[in-house]
């Protein structure tokens, strides 16, 4: 909150205003508005409030005292003797007595209420991006379904070979749509779940075997061997982790499914557990196509895929690792990746051990 007298000198500023507008050392009692505030938009707003004698607002981007970019919304109230203050209760008492102007042309005092809208703006942009991404991803399989069905209606229905191929393709595209929608729904469920999940001690071997069971058919179809080395070390015969069973199953399932999907036929995927202080690191190692260094920082973003064509062909939507990242945070874990193009990729999931509950 900032309050200015009718001759536009500072009457009052609270700490939040000083920080948000980065007023720093400039500020002192009765400093003229023009010396205190550098943003032309605010100066214009105050001028408009005084000339039009009505409350107005504006929004602008700025940098706060800690050099952070912020989006600020400013509501400027016109406080004149004949014009009852709009927000009566929030007017400082010093201001209320400030009505010494001549009766014919009383200038108005001005009260600025500044709110930090940065987070709201970020969420708004996030929502816009998300909607744009989802619509874009939905469009491709839908266009294909439309094209196939139009071709069938235009005569291909009478050609037994063609109609079989087209109907198969319609089925495949519908599967992609279903997978995409499932991913989006899972992400939206995650967003409404608490930031931190309750954790319990879990046997890693149980988790791994349930994940492998689910992906065995895909691995066989791609001629990939899964080498499960978890529990094979005499030092660590039955590793335990702290987590949430369903979340960890989703995390490990996504990592293993990627390792299979982005491997060449005949390759091996290794699962390994390594103790690291009070944490356990789970490694998913593949000998697949690898990830280019220029993409590696982005693979955890929603809808990000290195090779759109290859990922789509393999049925990918680019949501898997975004879900992995979200769930890993929720169980107090961390995830890292190392990769070499053409050689292979290792995902390293680090979890708390039960004896050292955070």
d(CA 158, CA 154): 9
Q: Which does 259 bind (CB under 5 to 8 A by kind): Mg ion, ligand ATP, none?
A: ligand ATP
311 binds, among Mg ion, ligand ATP, none (CB under 5 to 8 A by kind): ligand ATP
Alpha carbons within 13 A on the beta-carbon side of 105: 2
Residues 319 and 338: their CA atoms lie apart, in Å, by: 19
- Report 234-273 residues binding Mg ion (CB under 5 A): 258
The tokens describing 293, both together, are 């260094």
Per-residue interface string for the shown chain with Mg ion, residues 131-150, x marking contact by CB under 5 A? --------------------
CA distance 182 to 347: 24
204 close to 274: Cβ distance less than 8 angstroms: no
Q: Which of 36, 319, 327, 331 binds ligand ATP (CB under 6 A)?
A: 319
Continuous segment of H or E residues that includes residue 347 = strand 344-352
User: What's the closest the beta carbon of residue 257 comes to ligand ATP, in angstroms?
Assistant: 7
Q: Which of 141, 253, 267, 320 binds ligand ATP (CB under 6 A)?
A: 320
The span from the first CA to the last CA of the chain, in angstroms, equals: 40
Q: For residues 257-276, which are near ligand ATP according to CB under 6 A?
A: 258-259, 262
Q: Interaction with ligand ATP in 164-223: which residues (CB under 6 A)?
A: 183
Rounded CA-CA distance 344/262 in Å is 9
Position 320 contacts Mg ion (CB under 5 A):
yes
Q: Write out the H or E segment, with its range, that includes residue 75.
A: strand 69-79
- The C-alpha atoms of residue 244 and residue 113 are separated, in whole angstroms, by 45
For ligand ATP, which is the closer residue by CB, 108 or 259? 259
Q: Which of 239, 253, 267, 316 binds ligand ATP (CB under 6 A)?
A: 316
Cα 81 to Cα 64: distance, rounded to the nearest angstrom: 34
Among the listed residues 314, 323, 298, 326, the one whose alpha carbon sits nearest the alpha carbon of residue 182: 323
Nearest residue to ligand ATP by CB is 320
- How far is CA 297 from each of CA 283, 306, 321, 324, 333, rounded to the nearest angstrom? 19, 11, 12, 15, 18
Nearer to Mg ion, 8 or 321 (CB): 321
Residue closer to ligand ATP, measured from CB, 12 or 304: 304
Spatial separation of the C-alpha atoms in residues 178 and 184, rounded to whole Å: 10
Does residue 345 interact with Mg ion by CB under 5 A? no
The answer to the question of residue 311 lying near ligand ATP (CB under 6 A) is: yes
Using the rule CB under 6 A, give the single segment among 47-55, 103-111, 314-322, 349-357 that binds ligand ATP: 314-322
**Residue 288 binding result from ligand ATP, Mg ion, none, given CB thresholds of 5 to 8 Å by partner type:** ligand ATP
Q: Does the protein bind ligand ATP through residue 306 (CB under 6 A)? A: yes
Judged by beta carbon, residue 50 or residue 305, the one nearer ligand ATP is: 305
Q: Is residue 286 within a helix (H) or strand (E), and if so which, with residue range?
A: strand 279-286
Is 256 among the residues that bind ligand ATP (CB under 6 A)? Answer: no
Q: Which residues bind Mg ion (CB under 5 A)?
A: 258, 320
Q: Which residues bind ligand ATP (CB under 6 A)?
A: 183, 254, 258-259, 262, 286, 288-291, 299, 304-307, 311, 316-322, 345
């Amino acid at each position: 909150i900032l309050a200015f007298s009718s001759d536009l000198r500072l009457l009052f500023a609270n700490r939040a205003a000083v920080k948000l507008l980065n007023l720093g050392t400039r500020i002192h009692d009765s400093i003229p508005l023009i010396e205190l505030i550098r943003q032309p938009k605010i100066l214009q707003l105050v001028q408009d409030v005084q000339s039009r004698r009505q409350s107005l607002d504006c929004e602008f981007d700025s940098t706060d005292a800690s050099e952070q970019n912020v989006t600020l919304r400013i509501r400027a109230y016109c406080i004149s003797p004949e014009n009852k203050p709009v927000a009566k209760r929030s007017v400082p008492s010093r201001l209320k007595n400030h009505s010494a102007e001549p009766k014919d042309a009383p200038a108005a005092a001005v009260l600025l209420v500044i709110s930090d809208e940065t987070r709201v703006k970020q969420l708004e942009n996030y929502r816009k991006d998300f909607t744009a991404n989802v619509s874009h991803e939905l469009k491709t399989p839908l266009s294909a379904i439309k094209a196939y069905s139009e071709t069938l209606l235009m005569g291909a229905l009478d050609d037994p070979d063609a109609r079989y191929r087209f109907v198969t393709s319609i089925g495949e595209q519908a599967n992609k749509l279903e997978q995409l929608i499932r991913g989006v729904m899972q992400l939206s469920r995650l967003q409404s779940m608490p930031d931190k999940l309750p954790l319990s001690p879990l046997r890693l071997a149980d988790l791994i075997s349930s994940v492998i069971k689910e992906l065995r058919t895909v691995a066989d179809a791609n001629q990939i061997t899964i080498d499960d080395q978890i529990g094979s070390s005499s030092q660590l015969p039955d590793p335990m982790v702290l987590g949430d069973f369903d979340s960890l199953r989703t995390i490990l399932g996504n990592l293993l499914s990627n390792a299979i999907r982005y491997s060449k036929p005949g390759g091996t995927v290794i699962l390994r557990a390594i103790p690291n202080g009070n944490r356990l690191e789970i490694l998913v190692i593949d000998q697949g196509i690898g990830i280019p260094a220029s993409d590696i920082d982005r693979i955890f973003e929603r809808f990000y895929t290195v090779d759109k064509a290859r990922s789509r062909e393999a049925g990918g939507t680019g949501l898997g690792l975004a879900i992995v990242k979200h769930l890993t945070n929720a169980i107090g874990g961390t995830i890292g990746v190392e990769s070499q193009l053409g050689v292979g990729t290792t995902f390293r999931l680090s979890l708390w051990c039960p004896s050292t509950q955070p």
